[in-house]
Homo-oligomer: A and B are copies of this chain.
Amino acid sequence: MSHAAIWDSICRLRATAPLVHNITNYVVMNNTANALLAIGAAPAMIHAAEEVEDFVAISGALVVNLGTLSPAWVAGMRLAALRANAAGVPWVLDPVGMGATRYRSQVAADLMALKPGAVRGNASEIMALAGANATTRGVDSTASSDDGLHAARALAAVTGGVVAMTGKTDYVTDGTKVRAVHNGDALMARVTGMGCTATALTGAFMAIEADALLAATHALVVLGVAGEMAAEKAAGPGSFQMHLLDALHALDEAALQKRARVE
């Protein structure tokens, strides 16, 4: 994949500032909103069943993240996903902690049945979703992303959408084609919500790019490249977060050309 295609996506994102509707967890809402603003999208966080249908209908994409679940939120997620499907609004699912509790696994399975255009998770979550033998330990992955590639392809074949599995190497697959992204930095695992940010950026790129395989790949390259830029300036996980937002905001074609590593 040429860096020029990624840069073209970023330019379209910044030019159109698509509205991205997030139903996401309490822990990362602020970071997610700021990451979306920094790359050029217009984020909104709206979760109540009373209004998600109205809102998703005016949005460019929907992000559904299972981090801090409760029944009222699940009702909102379900209504929003159904309406997104009806209205042709692309949506991405982040099955945070899939496999950690029975409730969480059931909610994830119910939402998977609504066939999200993309799923973004770590290897444990993807393997648990695919019914493979994996252990989710809270929100962390105990399987490597290499281990999960088989599960990711199987899962994509089931939903008909793409699956993005992040780890040391990130993989994006539609069940047939596979893209591998080699960007990122180890500090990203020491900050909460980097996976959630990857999911939100995937949503943003889906709003301006109909090919979900491309959209998810662009999002992961963008986050990985910004992560590398931030890590070079950071003294630890606190300063890393700050530099990451600055890097997403400053990201230009030269940085992509120098750093993007996609197969």
Contact = CB atoms under 8 A, between A and B. Distances in A.
A38 B190 contact: yes
B101 A46 contact: yes
Nearest to A67: B45
Interface stretch (A116-124, A206-214, A236-244): A236-244
A90 interface: no
Interface stretch (A3-11, A134-142, A148-156, A175-183): A134-142
Interface residues of A, number: 61
A109 interface: no
Interface string A79-97: 0000000000000000001
A68 B193 CA distance: 19
Nearest to A247: B236
Contacts of A43: 138, 192
Interface in A49-72: 50-51, 54-55, 58-59, 67-72
A72 B72 CA distance: 11
A30 B34 CA distance: 13
A228 to B, nearest CB: 15
A68 B54 contact: no
A96 to B, nearest CB: 9
B50 A70 contact: yes
A150 B234 CA distance: 44
